[in-house]
Structure formats: structure tokens, C-alpha cells
Amino acid sequence: MQCDYFDRGVCRSCTLMGQPYADQVLDKEIRTLELLREAVDAAGGPGTVEWLPAITSPESGYRNKAKMVVGGTVQRPTVGILDHRQRGVDLRHCGICTPGIRHALPILADFIADAGLIPYDVAARRGELKYVLVTESPDGELMVRFVLRSEGQLPTLRQHLDALRSVLPQAVVVTANLLPEHKAVTEGEREIVLTEQETLSMRLGPVTMHLRPQSFFQTNTHVATELYAQASAWIDEVAPESMWDLYCGVGGFALHAARPGRAVTGIETSREAIRSAKQSAREAGLTDVRFAADDATEHALRSRPGATPELVLVNPPRRGIGEALSTWLEDSDVQHVVYSSCNPVTLAKDLARMPSLRLRRVRVLDMFPQTGHLEAVTLLSRG
């Protein structure tokens, strides 16, 4: 992939830009294998562990969510990043974003100017509009979130909402997020939905999920579809009657793995994500699936003896599942674990704490082309 922003040195976020794509994927596979070497050896060596071919991605146009810093001036706003002097750098044509997002960003920049929304000046700590966050669904619909410092320009945003939707009809969900603090985070706790529709429908394979403004969703729709399909295939192969989906987000794994007679429980700290998951399960008529807002580790530690499932799926953030949950899984009677990880370093550490759960299968998924990041999904079985 060629990128003018990278070539000009104005954005270096995609650290592997210019490296042949096949080499990027091979390097990620080798790095993952090296990190998991101890677990592979414990399982009987490379000949025992099935290492499936990597799932690749389109090299460009893959990212379904853009987190754009708003800089510049009211008359000439920038949407992109900040440079080392905290000045706005415009990246409205970023090539890793989906075509729908690339179409939307120039329209949103014009809307910011036309509506008179004041970009936030980080250095001076004044202004109102900090970020614009855009997510595109597989069907081309958009969720657009304006991150504001205060409610000061909320009336202006409401006043111009119809004008925005007339030039960007794909924006079916529009919100204002309030972030009054001056700190290095992208969004605040309070979300004000400005449209009648509150969720973005994310249709992946046979499952439709509902995405609310503050819920996590995989940023690569193509690879996420393959990830859910792979995990579901492994789960069907071992055929558990009960499973937990810990760190379930909006329920992607749980909803894809649901089968008649299989009791599925999804656990996630975000109440907004749980609301979305429950809505998806209800609309799909899934009566054996339940979701609850709880901490994944605490949920496991509080479980009664004999109430543990046959299979546990974990999809933690980059820090991994940690010592407490790893130890609980090791000491439990859980027979199978599917571990989906965005950080092979913490994945390796967690697997080392669960020697009774042997590594059976590994697959690297290139969720983040042009960067060093990856997703790895593994199947572990006891004995």
C-alpha cells in the first residue's frame, strides 16, 4: 500500500507502510510462534500443535472506525492527528479507513466549519470540539460521534443536525460525547444521542449485532467475520453443552457460537455493550444465551463448584487475562479454552500459567495491516 501522508512524513502511525504485505504477515506469524514456543513445546512440539494458515486482510480500506482529532480553526478545521507541537494534521483521506469513512470525513470537516464548531486547542486549553469518531457498518451506515468539552455548543450541533444528515444520509446514529477533562483519553462518560436511532447494526455472517456509542467492536470487519467463524468452528468441534464468553463486548463470539441446547453466558463490564448484546440475542430469538455486566475475573472467582462451563472463551484487552483468571482456569474443571488475543506477549504469559490446558491450535489473523499489531486465536484442551 502506498500512502502520501506516510511518504511526506506527516503521519507515521502505520509503522510497516511500504513493506510488502506478504512479509508483514509472515513476520507476525514468526513472532507469534516464537512467543508461544514454550506452550508449543509443552503441548508436544510443533508437530502436535496445528498451526493454521494466517487469515489476511485487504491491505487498505479495512478500518471500520476512525478516531480523528479535530484541530485547526473554525474556518479551516483539520481532522486527523496532532503533530509534536500539538497542531492539527489533516488526514481526511487516510487510506486504511473504509471507503465510506473516507467519503464522510471531508463532509464532516465542511460541516464543522459551516456549523461553527470550535476546534479544541490542546496547547491553549480552549475551544470545544476535541474529536470526531466515525464507525461504518458492513451495510454502509455510519455512527458519527462529536466529542465536546462541554454542552456549550450542543445547541449548535442540534440546530445543524438536519443539514448534516442531508449531505451525509448514511449517518444514522449521531451523538455528542462530553469530555470536560484535559487528559489523554478519546471520550468521556456522558453520551447524548441526537438521532432517533441509537445503535448501529453490524451484520457479520449470520449474526447481526447492535453497536452502541461506547461499546467496543473489532476494527476490521472482514477479519472479524473470519475470527468469529474460526472460533465457532472450534467450539462446534468440541461441542460443549455450556460455555462462557468472557470480555464479550457486544456479544460477537457468544452470538456466533449459540446453538440449540448450548447454554451460553456472556460477561462484560460495559453496561452499554451488554444492552447491545441482549438486544441482539432477543431479536435473534436465542433463548439459551444470557448476558450480564460484570468483571470477567470476579465472575469466575465467584462461581460455585460444579457450576463452571465445559468451555470458556476469553477475548481480553492487551493486558491479557492476568494471573488470577489464568490460575482459576488452570485449577478449574473447564475442559476447553478458546483464547483470542491482540497481544501475543501477554497471551504467552497467560498460557504459561495454564500448563494443564494444552495448546492444540493457533491461527494468526492480520486484523491491523500496515502495523505491527495482530490478532491470534488459540484452542486449548485439558490433558
Choose among 367, 250, 204, 48: nearest CA to 375: 367
Helix 344-352 × helix 21-35 angle, to 10°: 20
**CA trace torsion 255, 256, 262, 265 (10° rounding):** -40
Q: What kind and span of H or E run contains 302? A: helix 296-302
Residue type, 199: T
Instruction: Tell me whether residue 94 is one of the annotated catalytic residues.
Output: no
Residue type, 244: W
Phi, psi angle pair for 91, to nearest 5°? -130, 35
Q: Provide the β-strand partners of residue 207.
A: 204
Checking DSSP bridges between strand 129-136 and strand 88-90, what pairing results, if any? unpaired
Residue type, 309: P
**Concatenated DSSP letters for 102-135?**
HHHHHHHHHHHHHHT--B-BTTTTB-SEEEEEEE
**CA trace torsion 57, 217, 130, 146 (10° rounding):** 110
Strands (E), 167-288: 171-178, 190-193, 200-204, 207-211, 242-246, 263-268
Q: What share of the chain is helix, strand, coil (3-state, %, to 5)?
A: 30, 30, 40
The active-site residue, picked from 14, 94, 97, 342, is: 342
Positions annotated as catalytic residues are 342
